[in-house]
Amino acid sequence: MTFEIFVVLGLVAFLAGLFDAIAGGGGLITLPALFVAGLDPVSALATNKLQATAATVSATAAYSRKGLIDWRLGRWVTVIPMIGGAAGALMVNAIEKRWVEAGIPFLLIAVAIYFAVAPSGERLKRVAYLSIPVFAITISPLLGFYDGFFGPGIGSFFMIGLMALCGLNTMQAVGLTKVGNASCNVGSLMVFVAGGAVIWPLAAIMAAGAFVGAQLGARCAVFVGPRLVKPMIVMVCCGMAFKLLNAQFSSLYAAIRGLM
């Protein structure tokens, strides 16, 4: 990989951290960018996870300093999602890389569509069907598993789950989402690091970009709403996903021509 690619991916991580702190969905930009840059599936997921962890831990710290996290409730989502994240990372390591590579573009498009049409917090009917401890034990491990296995959109899934199932208001859900998201990322990152899948020089550059972007995003969230950010994330994600699909079909076509 050239120096220019490192710089571009660092800038991508900065924008993803910025967008993620405002509207979520930063992984919909960084993950396909890593695939487009030529990384194999597990290395892309692992390297993306390190920069995502930097972004979520940074955002969690920023929100905590501003008093936007209720740690009386947040303590319930600090450990169990971590276990789910580790399990998801173990699963993706156990699957053949070619199957992971083939499925990633379709997963990206599916999550981008969900991200585009998901209801905003204001439109959700907030009823407390589950308490936070019950949510932590039953739902958060599943969300953690998804985050370890794939990841993009996990912040949105966490937030909607907390609002729709636990009846939290928007600010309560945002704070607990940051904690749960950071927990998932740390759990899965530990597995990827132990497996030697992280490309450290690239991960360090992207982590630095994501950290700075998340700090800026946390400060801009009040002034720049999710409605302005979401369409950009969806368009960029779908564009890169279709680029990956085109590359896969081109390789398949070349292979078939070689057999004829």
**The pLDDT value given to residue 134:** 95
Measured CA to CA, the distance from residue 22 to residue 227 in angstroms comes to 10
pLDDT grade, residue 7 (50/70/90)? Answer: very high
pLDDT grade, residue 123 (50/70/90)? Answer: low
**The pLDDT value given to residue 22:** 75
Angle of helix 41-65 versus helix 97-117 axis, rounded to 10: 40
* Predicted confidence (pLDDT) at residue 194 exceeds the cutoff of 90: yes
pLDDT in tens, 146-181: 999 998 888 888 988 998 899 988 888 888 998 999
Lowest-confidence pick of 123-132, 191-200, 202-211:
123-132
Query: What CA dihedral angle connects 204, 151, 182 and 190, to 10 degrees?
Result: -60
CB atoms within 10 A of CB 8: 13
Domain ranges for the chain: 3-259
pLDDT grade, residue 61 (50/70/90)? Answer: confident
* Predicted confidence (pLDDT) at residue 84 exceeds the cutoff of 70: yes
- Give the pair of three-digit tokens for residue 75: 């303590």
CB atoms within 10 A of CB 170: 15
Average pLDDT, the chain: 84
Measured CA to CA, the distance from residue 89 to residue 147 in angstroms comes to 8
**The pLDDT value given to residue 144:** 95
